[in-house]
Chain A
């Protein structure tokens, strides 16, 4: 190998990690706690990894744990494609390939300090948001009021049920939850997550609002936030795209001129508003 390449790392080469803990969260979602075999892994809430299953391929998955929790890192993976199906078959002790952490567009952990935070999560959107939520709760004094809105399609798909219940009990967190479809065991709100926005007690005008959910959700949430005059600079959206390389080369995740993998996956809405392909 020539000298210049010898000094550079192979940006496509996964490093091995071990599945320390694996458990089903429901029929489609699986929780994994991973530990890098070489021990090194520093990340910021909002960053993702390329999960690699040899023989199947790679899939980009946002980290759900907070870097404040030091024991490896956690992913929640929905069984929906080739790689994610293969991940569901991995047991504790199995080896898995990891590239990352990737993504320069992270949650605004510094900028949000001292401000009130509103997390709006739709379904699986709770998974990436949980990284920043727990980061904030672990550095509670650095941030203002915390409001979490969680909407889930059906009762059985609710995620991190115990953890969400613990957030709800905290006096310094305002948690509002809804499910789309009524269920006998559910006594709470029924309807889509935007229904909860009028119930937010925090003054939205000065708040930092963080949104993550399925593609269809963003427009409705943004329209609703517009009524409360939330400045676009204070709204952060966590987007999903098809990704292959994760490092700004392969072209799949392009949103007009920006790369979801490099410039995101967390974007400031004011930076996205001029990009017709964003939503």
Chain B
């Protein structure tokens, strides 16, 4: 795949041209923070952002999504949104999360709804310029990414180094001005990568991330779960902002004519009351401490075997920022376990 160097002005021209052709979702300022939103002009794009309020997940797995329509007593009809779009400005840790979701939604039972959106998405990732307040991607090995994107941008001062990762990205790259990236540009990019590999680490995990499944093997009955959960509101904010949380509910909505309706899926969260409650009121995982533990076990023990051993926490730090009682920080929980239980 090719690597180009393109000036920021030329890149803005490319983005504006892209907006004219397709739907572009890009990172923009939202008050004094940042978020992904439909982009109307390249001048609103903020590739110097630290972290977005919500991960780009919502464009691949929307908060609510119509799976099918139905007639009462009649047939069900699959519904798909079939529109190409560009996700512009995805940070490496969020890209890793998308790569993980791609694997999870394809394996065992292929989810056509997720994959339809995914196939329609063109992802332009970008390396981090400014670390966010709570990022710990370096600890999780997700500070840089080597795949999944169609194009990867790296800010090397006055210009971007742009590399395609797929044939789709290669085609897009051909439409960009710029020159073949020279040695100096590639060296500058290497420097950004080296810096980020260590520098996106506001919370430092005291072990190699790959050790976490083994750490959790001996931590199930540790007091930290109950201690933390004492102040948990079970609000599900940690689930909501997480780029790797993908649990969902399914619910029916009957139309005003009472003859037709739709079945939707909507985000759900394992911290919320009733997540495991069946008719008859039996709740299989009820205590908040159990639910709190389940989230972190899912990230670092239950999901990893499904995704080739990767930890399903990418170190974005959003849950740290979103948690009102300040108990959600995975690193502080894991470090506490390491302090008490040791490594090995």
Residues of A at the B interface (CB closer than 8 Å) are: 1-2, 4-5, 8-14, 16, 52, 54-59, 80-82, 84, 94-95, 97, 215, 240-242, 244-245, 247-252, 254-257, 262, 276-277
Contact = CB atoms under 8 A, between A and B. Distances in A.
Given A81-B279, A250-B248, A10 B113 contact: yes
B76 A8 contact: no
Interface stretch (B14-22, B150-158, B197-205, B250-258): B250-258
A244 B119 contact: no
Nearest to A262: B108
Contact of B109 (A80, A248, A276): A248
Contact of A81 (B74, B119, B280): B280
Dominant secondary structure at the B interface: mixed
Interface of B: 67-68, 70-76, 78, 80, 82, 104-105, 108-113, 115-116, 119, 220, 246-252, 254, 261, 263, 265, 268, 270, 275-280, 282, 284-285, 290, 294, 297-298, 301-302, 305
B116 to A, nearest CB: 5
B250 A57 contact: yes
B250 A12 contact: yes
A242 B282 CA distance: 9
Contact of A5 (B76, B115, B247): B115
A80 B263 CA distance: 21
Contacts of B290: 277
B68 to A, nearest CB: 6
Given A11-B111, A12-B67, A277-B285, A55 B252 contact: yes
Nearest to A15: B76
A276 B76 contact: no
B276 A252 contact: yes
Contacts of A52: 76
B248 A249 contact: yes
Contacts of B247: 250-252
A244 B75 contact: no
Nearest to B301: A257
Given A10-B113, A56-B252, A250 B268 contact: yes
A257 B113 contact: no
A11 B72 CA distance: 20
Contact of B275 (A215, A252, A277): A252
B76 A54 contact: yes
**Leading 3 A-B pairs by shortest Cβ distance:** A81-B279, A251-B247, A257-B302
Contacts of A94: 73
Given A54-B252, A55-B261, A256-B297, A11 B109 contact: yes
Contact of A80 (B110, B261, B268, B279): B279
